[in-house]
Amino acid sequence: MSSKKRKKRGKFTIVIVPESAKEVKQMQISGNVAITICTIILILEFIAIAYISYGINSMGRNSQGEKELADHLAQLTEENNVLQKEKEALQQQIDEAKKEEGTKEEQSEEIEKEEQEQLPVTLILPVDGTASIESEFQGNEEGQQRGITFRIEGGTAIVAAGGGTVTFADVSQSGEGNEVRIDHGSNYVSIYRSSGAVKVYVGEVVEAKAELFERMEEGTTLNYEVTYEEVFIDPISVMEVYG
Task: Tell me what the mean pLDDT of segment 167-181 comes to.
Answer: 92
Percent of the chain with pLDDT over 70: 74
At residue 1 the predicted structure's pLDDT band, cuts being 50, 70 and 90, is very low
The Cα 214–Cα 160 span in angstroms is 13
Q: Residue 143 to residues 86, 140, 161, 200, 223: CA-CA distances in angstroms? A: 75, 9, 25, 30, 15
Residue 156's contacts (CB-CB under 8 Å, 6 or more residues apart) are: 127, 128, 130, 131, 215, 216, 219
How far the first Cα of the chain sits from its last, in Å, is: 170
The 10s digit of each residue's pLDDT in 41-70 is 777 777 777 667 666 666 666 667 777 778
pLDDT at 134: 92
3-state secondary structure of 235: helix
